[in-house]
A and B are shown apart, each in its own frame.
Chain A
Amino acid sequence: MTKTVEQLDRVIIRFAGDSGDGMQLTGDRFTSETAVFGNDIATFPDFPAEIRAPAGSLPGVSGFQVHFADHDILTPGDQPDVLVAMNPAALKTNLKDLPKGSTLIVNTDAFVPRNLDKAGYASNPLEDGSLADWQVHPVAVTTMTLESVKGIEGITPREGERAKNMFALGLMCWLFGRPTQGTVDFINEKFSKRPEIAAANIAAFNAGYHFGETSETFSISYEVKPAKLKPGKYRQINGNSALVYGLVAASIQAKRALFLGAYPITPASSILEELAALKHFGVRTFQAEDEIAAVGAALGAAFGGALGVTVSAGPGIVLKQETIGLAMQLELPLVILNIQRAGPSTGMPTKPEQTDLLNVLYGRNGESPIPVIAASTPGGCFFAAIEAARIALKYRTPVFLLSDAYLANGAEPWLIPSSADLPDISVENIIQPNREDGSYWPYLRDEKTLARPWAIPGTPGLEHRIGGIEKADGTGNISYDPDNHDLMTRLRAQKVAGIAADIPLLEVDHVEGARTLVLGWGSTYGPIGAAIKLLRADGVAVDQAHLMHLNPFPRNLGEVLKSYDKILMPEMNLGQLRQLVRSEFLVDAHGYNRVTGKPFKASELAEAILALVNA
Chain B
Amino acid sequence: MSDNGNGNSGLLQLSAKDFKSDQEVRWCPGCGDYAILAAVQGFMPELGIPRENIVFVSGIGCSSRFPYYMQTYGMHSIHGRAPAIASGLSTSRPDLSVWVVTGDGDAMSIGGNHLIHALRRNVNLKILLFNNEIYGLTKGQYSPTSPVGKVAKSTPMGSIDRPFYPLSLALGAEATFVARSIDTDRKHLTEVLRQAAAHKGTALVEIYQNCNIYNDGAFDVIRDNKGRRLYLEHGKPAVFGENGEKGIVFTDEGAAKIVDINEVGLDGVYVHDAHADEVFHAFALSRITQASHGVTPIGVLRDVDRPVYDEQMAGQLEAAVAKRGAGDLDALLSATDTWEL
Binding site for B on A (CB under 8 A): 32, 35-36, 38, 182, 226, 228-236, 245, 248-249, 252, 257, 259, 261, 278-284, 286, 288-290, 292-293, 296-306, 308, 322-323, 326, 330, 416-419, 438, 457-469, 477-478
Contacts and interface: CB of A to CB of B under 8 A. Distances in A.
Interface stretch (B30-38, B52-60, B251-259, B278-286): B52-60
21 contacts: A38-B341, A232-B341, A235-B333, A245-B332, A280-B320, A289-B117, A292-B84, A293-B114, A300-B84, A300-B85, A300-B88, A301-B89, A322-B78, A457-B73, A458-B93, A460-B52, A461-B52, A464-B73, A465-B67, A465-B76, A467-B76
Given A300-B90, A303-B89, 20 more contacts: A38-B339, A235-B334, A235-B338, A249-B329, A259-B91, A281-B329, A282-B327, A283-B317, A286-B87, A292-B114, A293-B81, A296-B114, A297-B84, A297-B88, A300-B85, A304-B89, A306-B93, A457-B73, A460-B1, A467-B67
Contact of B50 (A233, A303, A460): A460
B96 interface: yes
Contacts of A230: 341
Contacts of A305: 93
A292 B78 CA distance: 11
Contacts, number: 208
Interface in B114-149: 114, 116-117
Contact of B339 (A35, A228, A278, A303): A35
Which among B67, B87, B333 has the greatest number of chain A C-beta atoms within 10 A? B333
Nearest to B113: A289
B91 A229 contact: no
B51 interface: yes
A467 B56 CA distance: 11
Contact of B78 (A32, A36, A288, A468): A468
Nearest to B7: A458
Contacts of B114: 289, 292-293, 296
A570 B93 CA distance: 46
Contact of B85 (A235, A280, A299, A416): A299
B339 A461 contact: no
A287 to B, nearest CB: 10
Given A248-B329, A278-B332, A32 B84 contact: no
A248 B327 contact: yes
Interface string B142-164: 00000000000000000000000
Interface of B: 1-2, 5, 21, 23, 50-55, 57, 60, 67-68, 70-78, 81, 84-93, 95-96, 113-114, 116-117, 313, 316-317, 319-321, 323-327, 329-330, 332-334, 336-341
B53 A457 contact: yes
A58 to B, nearest CB: 35
B182 to A, nearest CB: 27
B96 A288 contact: no
Given A457-B52, A467-B76, A259 B88 contact: yes
A419 B329 contact: yes
Contacts of B5: 460
B72 A463 contact: yes
Contacts of A438: 1
Contacts of A326: 77-78
Nearest to A185: B337
Given A457-B96, A465-B74, A234 B88 contact: no
B266 to A, nearest CB: 45
A279 B5 CA distance: 30
A180 B96 CA distance: 55
B95 A466 contact: no
Contacts of A467: 67-68, 74-77
Given A278-B327, A297-B88, A308-B88, A303 B2 contact: no
Contacts of B91: 259, 284, 286, 297, 301
B72 to A, nearest CB: 5
A237 to B, nearest CB: 9
A279 B330 CA distance: 16
